[in-house]
Structure formats: structure tokens, C-alpha cells
Amino acid sequence: AQSVAQPEDQVNVAEGNPLTVKCTYSVSGNPYLFWYVQYPNRGLQFLLKYITGDNLVKGSYGFEAEFNKSQTSFHLKKPSALVSDSALYFCAVRGLKLIFGAGTRLAVHP
Amino acid sequence: DAGITQSPRHKVTETGTPVTLRCHQTENHRYMYWYRQDPGHGLRLIHYSYGVKDTDKGEVSDGYSVSRSKTEDFLLTLESATSSQTSVYFCAISEDRAEETQYFGPGTRLLVL
């Protein structure tokens, strides 16, 4: 069965510190993996995706994600967090259909 | 929001009434999707369309129907709204399903009393 898990409901980070938002997945075959961000009262915005190739994927707003096949993970990272990064982050995996995780709320404190 | 509009943006209705939500795109993308977003569940697919008059069910399709008579419009209908259908509804589009980068509309907040 296809699934995606975001083990943390909320992540708290001080501004300027590195951040990681975790995602693990389960899918048959090669995964297509995505990260989206949602700001309050807005739709989801595409951040980045992994289809094939380099395990480190760079995306919008300075975010990147590392694909780890052996750990079936696709964690979202940023070297230096900004208060404006505070939002809801969704990981998604494409198998037969696109399946979203429950979301992780990122709070960056000044 | 990638040339996608949703209407209405907010709606309050009563149990048992029909409700239609509209998604309109200006990107000429082949695929269109309806999701609902509820706390703790992320986004769940209701229905999707892979062309004019071509639609299929998602994981939470009970109580919902859809229609697509034009490439640019995808309608979601709640035939008889229930309180469990109170949610935020998002439309999404994608051009190439194999890559499946979906782009989302701004959402419709529906309250069923």
C-alpha cells in the first residue's frame, strides 16, 4: 500500500538556525516525492520534487530535500530559518495517485 | 495561484441542500482534481478528471459528484450536504500526470450547519 508519514505535528526553530521537517514514505516501485507549503488562508504552493537523479533536490525559497532510498525518507531542510518560513508543510508521494501526509506546522521564532 | 480560481471562496449552507463549487483554470492543463483538507488528515482526493467528460473517483468520493464539460471548468457537487462535509476544498491542476506536479487554487471554505 502507498503511504506517507510526517511524524511531527509541529517543529519549533529559532530564526537563523537550520531546520528539518521529516517525511517517510511507502510506495511500490520508484517514488515521485514532493514538498508543498501552505500559508494561512492560501492554497498549497509547490516547493520541490524528486523524480530521479541527484538525491539532494533544491527548491524554492532556499529549501532543499534529501532523498534516502534505504531509509525511505525525504526530509525537507533549510540551512537558516526565517520567521517568514512559518507555515504548514506537506510531503506527498506519487504512486498510483498523489497521497499527502497530514502536514507539519513549522514555527520559526525570532 | 497558477491561473486557478475557485468560487465561491466561502459558503455557509444548511444540511440537506445541494451545493456546487466551481474551479476554473486558464492554463489549459489536462488534469484537474478536487481535494478536501481537514485537520490531521492532510489533503484527501475526492475526484479527478483526465479530460473533458472523463472523471474518476478518489479516496473520499461518497456524497460528491463532479462534472467537466469544458477543459477549463471542473465542478464539484454535494447533492445533499451533511455536516461531515464541512471542510476546506481545494482544486488542483496538472499538465503531465507522470510528473504529477499539481498546482492549487486558493480554496473554498464550506460550512454545513
Q: What is the CATH number of the domain that holds B107?
A: 2.60.40.10
Q: With an 8 Å Cβ cutoff, is A100 touching chain B?
A: yes
**How open is the CA angle A40-A81-A61, to the nearest 5 degrees?**
65
What's the pLDDT at A18? 97
Structural domains in chain A, CATH included, are: 3-109 (2.60.40.10)
Cα of A103 to nearest chain B Cα, Å: 6
User: Residue B28 has what pLDDT?
Assistant: 92
Interface test with chain B among A34, A97, A99, A105, by most B beta carbons within 10 Å:
A97
For chain B, residues with pLDDT lower than 70 are 1-2, 97-99
pLDDT of residue A98: 86
CA distance A42 to chain B (A): 5
C-alpha separations of B58 from A75, A108, B6 in Å:
27, 35, 20
Judged by a CB distance cut-off of 8 A, whether residue A105 touches chain B is no
What is the pLDDT, as a whole number, of residue B85?
Answer: 97
Rounded CA gap, A21 and B9, in Å? 30
**Residue B16, burial from CB neighbour count under 10 angstroms (0-12, 13-18, 19+):** exposed
Amino acid at A97: K
Q: What pLDDT is attached to residue A49? A: 94
- Could you list the mean pLDDT of each consecutive 10-residue stretch along chain A, which spans 110 residues? 92 98 92 93 92 91 95 97 96 86 96
Pairwise CA distance, residues A10 & A60, whole Å? 21
Domain with B35 in it = 4-112
- Total domains in chain B come to 1
Q: Can you read off the three cell numbers belonging to residue A71? A: 531509509
- Residue B99: its pLDDT value, please? 62
